[in-house]
């Protein structure tokens, strides 16, 4: 498949005992992108921009979309253990990684298990820690289209809103949303959307360059979670983006790209 200047592919690959869908595109050093609770949203403007200087690896998590589920994976802690083996199979040792929402939680779990696995880390709207102020939105009480709209501060102002949340989603998109929410529910229902021990483990990342990004009006994961990540990870960098909800990559694309391009080089 092609965009204006970058060729990208989707294929099913066998890794770490199961088969997953892998989206890959771009040129340059690899950048692992871990999608959020709604699955990979499709190739968007920010993917295109980062793919000019990086080869993006975007795996669909097991049990999300067309990726086969793993019966023994019952938590994001389990998923992180599986992923470390999957990265071995993919030859992605010492890779840069960026995780969104639940994907940010997953990246943090992997990093505390093996900080040497990653070169640089970016957590965007990351769940995984209990917010000191506010609560994580109950994503399982609304349908997918409502959740996506609520995650944005002002959906009408987002140029790519119809791309990530069309008025009439295709059968494939509806399937991806349904399986992704089911997978997220199975792995993060209790305790809801966080791992209580994680803040105590995050100091292990003191030598891993870590960027933490949050929207200042994130309605899904309160900015206090980002601040807790920041205070728990020595030497980390915190960026709170003004006038932004849960998805800075589409709500404030230029600012988001400015931050991550500088971070990953």
Query: 98-129: per-residue pLDDT in tens?
Result: 999 999 999 999 999 999 999 999 999 999 99
User: Which percentage of the chain shows pLDDT scores above 90?
Assistant: 95
Instruction: List the domain boundaries for the chain.
Output: 8-264
The HSE-up count of residue 144 (CA atoms within 13 Å, CB side) is: 23
Residue 29 three-state SS? strand
pLDDT tens digit string along 132-170?
Answer: 999 999 998 999 999 999 999 999 999 999 999 999 999
Closest to 213 measured CA to CA, from 262, 256, 161: 256
Q: CB 116: neighbour CB atoms within 10 A?
A: 10
According to CATH, the topology of domain 8-264 is: Rossmann fold (3.40.50)
Give pLDDT, residue 7: 86
Average of per-residue pLDDT across 196-216: 98
């Amino acid at each position: 498949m092609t965009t204006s200047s970058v060729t990208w592919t989707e294929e099913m690959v066998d890794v770490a005992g199961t088969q997953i869908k892998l989206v890959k595109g771009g040129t340059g050093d690899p950048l692992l992108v871990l999608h959020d609770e709604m699955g990979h949203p499709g190739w968007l403007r920010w993917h295109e921009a980062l793919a000019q200087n990086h080869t993006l690896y975007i795996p669909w998590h097991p049990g999300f979309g067309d990726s086969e589920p793993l019966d023994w994976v019952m938590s994001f802690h389990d998923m992180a253990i599986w992923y470390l083996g999957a990265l071995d199979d993919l030859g992605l040792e010492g890779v840069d990684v960026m995780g969104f929402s639940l994907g940010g939680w997953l990246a943090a779990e992997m990093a505390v298990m093996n900080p040497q696995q990653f070169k640089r880390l970016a957590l965007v709207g990351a769940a995984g820690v209990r917010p000191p102020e506010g609560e994580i939105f109950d994503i399982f009480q609304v349908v997918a289209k409502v959740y996506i709209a609520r995650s944005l501060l002002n959906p009408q102002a987002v140029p790519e809103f119809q791309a990530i949340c069309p008025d009439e989603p295709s059968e494939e998109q509806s399937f991806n949303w349904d399986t992704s929410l089911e997978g997220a529910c199975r792995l993060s229902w209790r305790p809801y959307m966080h791992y209580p021990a994680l803040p105590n483990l995050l100091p292990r990342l003191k030598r891993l360059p870590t960027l933490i990004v949050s929207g200042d009006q994130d309605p899904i994961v309160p900015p206090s979670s980002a601040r807790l990540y920041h205070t728990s990870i020595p030497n980390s960098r915190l960026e709170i983006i003004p006038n932004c909800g849960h998805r800075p990559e589409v709500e404030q694309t230029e600012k988001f790209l400015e931050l991550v391009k500088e971070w990953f080089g």
